[in-house]
Amino acid sequence: GQSLEQPSEVTAVEGAIVQINCTYQTSGFYGLSWYQQHDGGAPTFLSYNALDGLEETGRFSSFLSRSDSYGYLLLQELQMKDSASYFCAVNSGNTPLVFGKGTRLSVIA
Amino acid sequence: GAGVSQTPSNKVTEKGKYVELRCDPISGHTALYWYRQSLGQGPEFLIYFQGTGAADDSGLPNDRFFAVRPEGSVSTLKIQRTERGDSAVYLCASSPNPPGLAGGGSYNEQFFGPGTRLTVL
């Protein structure tokens, strides 16, 4: 089977940095994706890591350690609009994405 | 350009009825996915099409669920004899590339539609 673990909720202050962790157990692994979903909205793609290391895209960065079956999403200079749910998802080969349960991020003033 | 569209946006039906949910993927995207999302949960995979064929239907919960993509573009998810437990948001996504291929960055991006909220009374 496949499973992903991520914190259910995180609260952070506007302007701060927050890290959302994700650990996974899968029978195969190609890469780890991150998606953002605002309430009532569609999931939107943030990043994909196939190799170990840090991928940076503007205020968002994503990290992967394949040996530790672990990754994280780092959000810098938090803005109120970043309040949303964040999902990690595993691409384990010819099967489509398996999503975690999501982390609800609340950004407060 | 146009994104993934889904119709209807909301569907309320009675237990035991039949429903059809439609997905229009981004033009040219060969891969199409259906997911189901319950409140407070992540999207749960149902079925994946590559072109016209269902490449993986292992996520369909039972034989009441069926999906087609006859011309390789629009897809319809069909649910027979609906049950209250079927109530959820049904999401459709498409991608230009099939899953499982190596590639960095946005190569494996899936583009999601706004979903259809199904309520079974």
Q: How confident is the model over B1-34, as pLDDT tens digits?
A: 589 999 999 999 999 999 999 999 999 999 999 9
- Inter-chain touch B56–A55, beta carbons under 8 Å: no
Best mutation target among A91, A92, A103, A104 (most B Cβ atoms within 10 Å) is: A91
Interface contact B100-A91, CB threshold 8 A? yes
For residue A36, the model assigns a pLDDT of 97
Fill in the amino acid letter for A106.
Answer: S
Quick check: A78 and A16 in contact, CB under 8 A?
yes
What is the number of CB-based contacts under 8 A between chain A and chain B? Answer: 80
Residues from chain A that touch B107, judged by Cβ atoms under 8 A, are 48
Q: Which residue shows structure tokens 């982390």?
A: A103
Kindly tell me if the per-residue pLDDT of A94 is higher than 90.
no
User: How large is the average pLDDT for residues A35-50?
Assistant: 94
Average pLDDT over residues A54-81: 96
Amino acid B100: pLDDT? 59
Name the residue with tokens 């489509």.
A96
Pairwise CA distance, residues B32 & B2, whole Å: 16
Contacts of B113 in chain A (CB under 8 A): 42
Neighbours of A83 (CB within 10 A): 17
- Average pLDDT (A71-93) is 95
Q: Is the pLDDT of residue A1 over 90?
A: no
For residue B117, the model assigns a pLDDT of 97
Measured CA to CA, the distance from residue B8 to residue A40 in angstroms comes to 15
**Rounded mean pLDDT of A78-91?**
96
Ranges under pLDDT 50 in chain B: none
Mean pLDDT of A43-58: 92
pLDDT band at A95; cut points 50, 70, 90 = low
- Record: contact A102-B41, CB cut-off 8 A: yes
Contact at CB, B108 and A87, closer than 8 angstroms: no
A66 close to B18: Cβ distance less than 8 angstroms: no
Residues B32/B23, Cβ–Cβ less than 8 Å: yes
The SS3 of residue A10 is strand
- Please name the member of A41, A45, A95 whose beta carbon is closest to the beta carbon of B106: A45
